[in-house]
Structure 1
Amino acid sequence: PTKLQLRKQSTPGSFRFFEDTDTEGETPLAAKSPSTKITIVPPQVNNGKDNSSNYSSFRSRGRGSTRRVKRRAVRKSGECNVTQVHISKRRRRYLQDIFTTLVDVKWRWTLLVFALSFTLSWLMFAAIWWLIAYTHGDLDPTNMESEDWSPCVVNINSFSSCFLFSIETQHTIGYGSRSTTEECPEAIFVMCLQSITGVFIQAFMVGIVFAKMARPKQRSQTLMFSKFAVVCMRDGMLCLMFRVGDMRKKSHLISSSVRAQLVRPYTTKEGEVLTPFLHDLKVKADNYESDIFLIWPTTVIHEIDSASPLYDLSAADMINERFEIVVILEGTTESTGQTTQARTSYVAGEILWGHRFTPMVTFNKSKESYSVDFTQFDKTYQVDTPLCSARNLEAFLETADMDM
């Protein structure tokens, strides 16, 4: 039977896993991954320096390796990296949901629609007022000079005056120099119609601007994720860890929760390859699985056990595997009651094997309060960690217990 042995190398403090096939004459034992040399530096005293830059990715350690494009479903900023093509009647469907479309577009387009909606409505009703005045004869110079003539609208003598009257009517300015009379019923009807139209346009545009400014997306800008995820031992188990935090001192997230999903191809029993395929990762924070209270940054943990899709993944597999871990943080803003969501992702090159996060929460005796140093948020330090997969580590530990 194959046995895994943890043997010390010539480099002090570095370890590798080997396979022992019990074959005579094979000494020294062959390395499990002879083509890739991966070592773990022993733990060092943290001096406040960021060590993650020297250990950012196993991908750059292989000789002759080339940089591969990072396939992301979710960018580090949280935006979904998905392009939708060949959608029939796409513009028509977007126009049918015009409110959501205007909320989602950039500010310059929203402000452009805002300005055009008012300007075009002013011009349209100005043209209607001009037609009413023209057909009634109010623009005839003879009638304008006659004191016995009763116009539809007082002091209307050109298109410019019609435009000004349109603005005054729509926004109920009421300067008093122009007003409708009882001479023309159509003028009274248009005045009522424009007043109602102006109320609808103002309510619609104010609603869009308010919804755009109060979007939960803006609240997510103050939620933070660590730049890297790490893999190290905790309580005798290999664990995947990453940090989440909220930089706001007030208006905390309530009922917040964290979800993680592994994006990785999956082959069915029938040989069908499903890509992309989402695997759920069971995560927890500290020693509880309920809602997270983010009064300070929290380390979220995924225990790599037999139920984890990362159970067979070793440090060497990080070099060749293509996968992505999508992290979603959800919660309710305490001040507004709106639900907000922040997202990020980690690809294989952003997972540091054999690292642990630097502590960042201390107690300040002079201020009698806890102090959080956000300069340490992304910093890690190296620790001794087995390079094999969690499955092989579990088998090795069981064999070691039996030998004892």
Structure 2
Amino acid sequence: MAFIKRKGHHGDDLGFGNRPMGKDQRMMNADGTSNIKRIGLPFFRSADTYNWLISMSWTKFMSIIVIAYLIVNILFATIYVGVGIENLKGAEGETFRDQFFSAFFFSAQTISTVGYGHISPSGFITSCIAAFESMLGLLAFALATGLLYGRFSRPNAKVFYSKNMVVAPYKDATALMFRLANGRNNQLIEISIQVVLTINELVDGLKKRTFMPLNLERSKIGLLSLSWTVVHPIDEDSPLFGITSEELINGEAEVIVLLQAFDDTFSQTVHSRASYLDENIIYNAKFVPAFFHDEEGATILDLSKLSAIEAI
């Protein structure tokens, strides 16, 4: 397995350590997140709650909002029924189910401060519960509004990467290539990219995970308007020189992509990451052109063809 042209260097470590990876294990997920699970943390981490809520997916976030809303209203509806449904003037229903739903919808009107008026609290205890619920509702909706603003205003890059890398002829030799494009209509400027090959290697008789930066034909561009084909020439100085697909598979190779750009919409620097396993490196293939010109002379970029390849 010691087929790499140079030994690993601690300065190349991306922060994943040098422990070898097992079969079908990856250091970075395809979506750019680290494949690391943290344990041993306290259950309640108030300092991380905000970051957790604004960084989770929209599906999970909306599910938490809806579930929390239902739980709070069910809790207060149970309290109103327990205190006595007769303390809610206008609440209708002879059965427990009808009474509970009347209390539930009164709770929903109170916590949102809508207050239609056909149901109102009667008595000191019920009025205190309703007053506390309305105060809780104001705080909860203010918090939810802040979280929504934080999610919408958080700058992030939506960069699409080709599904596979290809090894294709390039300037009388071969090169490792992949494509990327901006998935939004905003402008990304001053884009820089770093590509690192990580592979299991025998170093001084020990099996370790080594990290080797891949030199690129061009590591920076000024503006990402169309798709960008990132090229690593496989010359004599390349760690991939003379390496076959089988050797990459045996070494559990993984290529990590780190991208940095300036988003002119938010006037902030954004980051994007991607990862390719050895099975995603296709030999003797090339990318199909992803953009063309229409009859009016405008350039059309077809993102559905970003990953399209053909055999050579």
Aligned to 2:20: none
Q: Distance in 2 between matches of 1:294 and 1:267?
A: 39
Which of 278, 291, 308 is the equivalent residue of 1:347? Answer: 278
Q: Report how far residue 295 of structure 1 moved.
A: 1.3
Q: Structure 1 residues 378 and 329 mapped into 2: Cα distance closer, same or farther (>3 Å)? A: farther
Secondary structure of the 1:282 match is coil
Q: Report how far residue 194 of structure 1 moved.
A: 1.3
Aligned to 1:172: 113
Aligned to 1:252: 187
Letter in 2 for 1:297: S
Secondary structure of the 2:223 match is coil
The structure where strand makes up a greater share of residues is: 2
Q: Structure 1 residues 294 and 167 mapped into 2: Cα distance closer, same or farther (>3 Å)? A: same
Aligned to 1:126: 77
Letter in 2 for 1:319: E
Secondary structure of the 1:368 match is coil
Q: Distance in 2 between matches of 1:349 and 1:306?
A: 23
Secondary structure of the 1:123 match is helix
Aligned to 1:43: none
Aligned to 2:213: 280
Letter in 2 for 1:367: E
Larger radius of gyration: 1
Q: Report how far residue 172 of structure 1 moved.
A: 1.4
Which of 354, 365, 369 is the equivalent residue of 2:298? Answer: 369
Q: Report how far residue 262 of structure 1 moved.
A: 0.6
Secondary structure of the 1:326 match is strand
Aligned to 2:166: 229
Q: Structure 1 residues 226 and 123 mapped into 2: Cα distance closer, same or farther (>3 Å)? A: closer
Q: Deviation per CA, 1:294-347, whole angstroms, max 9, x where unpaired?
A: 21122212244676433xx305x3322322212234435554567352523152
1:320 aligns with 2:243: no
8 Å contact 1:228–1:378 — kept in the other structure? no
Q: CA RMSD for the aligned pairs?
A: 4.3
Q: Report how far residue 197 of structure 1 moved.
A: 1.0
Aligned to 2:131: 192
Structure 1, gaps ≥5 residues long: 1-68, 140-151, 383-404
Q: Distance in 2 between matches of 1:373 and 1:127?
A: 55
Q: Report how far residue 379 of structure 1 moved.
A: 3.2
8 Å contact 2:165–2:177 — kept in the other structure? no
Letter in 1 for 2:283: L
1:243 aligns with 2:179: yes
Aligned to 2:10: none
Identity percentage of aligned residues: 19
8 Å contact 1:333–1:340 — kept in the other structure? no
Aligned to 1:26: none
The number of equivalent residue pairs is 279
Q: Distance in 1 between matches of 2:306 and 2:68?
A: 50
Aligned to 1:396: none
Letter in 2 for 1:118: Y
Q: Distance in 2 between matches of 1:108 and 1:362?
A: 36
Q: Distance in 1 between matches of 2:307 and 2:49?
A: 41
Letter in 2 for 1:119: L
Moved more, 371-380 or 250-259: 371-380
Secondary structure of the 1:264 match is strand
Aligned to 1:16: none
Q: Structure 1 residues 295 and 96 mapped into 2: Cα distance closer, same or farther (>3 Å)? A: closer
Aligned to 1:389: none
Following superposition of structure 1 onto structure 2, how do residues 55-204 of structure 1 map, counting pairs within 5 Å? Answer: 72-74=26-28, 77-78=30-31, 82=35, 84=37, 87-88=39-40, 92=43, 97-101=48-52, 110-130=61-81, 134=84, 139=86, 154-155=89-90, 159-160=99-100, 161-179=102-120, 184=124, 189-204=128-143
Q: Report how far residue 117 of structure 1 moved.
A: 1.6
Structure 2, gaps ≥5 residues long: 1-22, 94-98
Moved more, 325-334 or 167-176: 325-334
Q: TM-score, normalised by structure 2?
A: 0.66
Secondary structure of the 2:191 match is strand
Aligned to 1:51: none
Letter in 2 for 1:261: V
Q: Distance in 2 between matches of 1:358 and 1:107?
A: 33
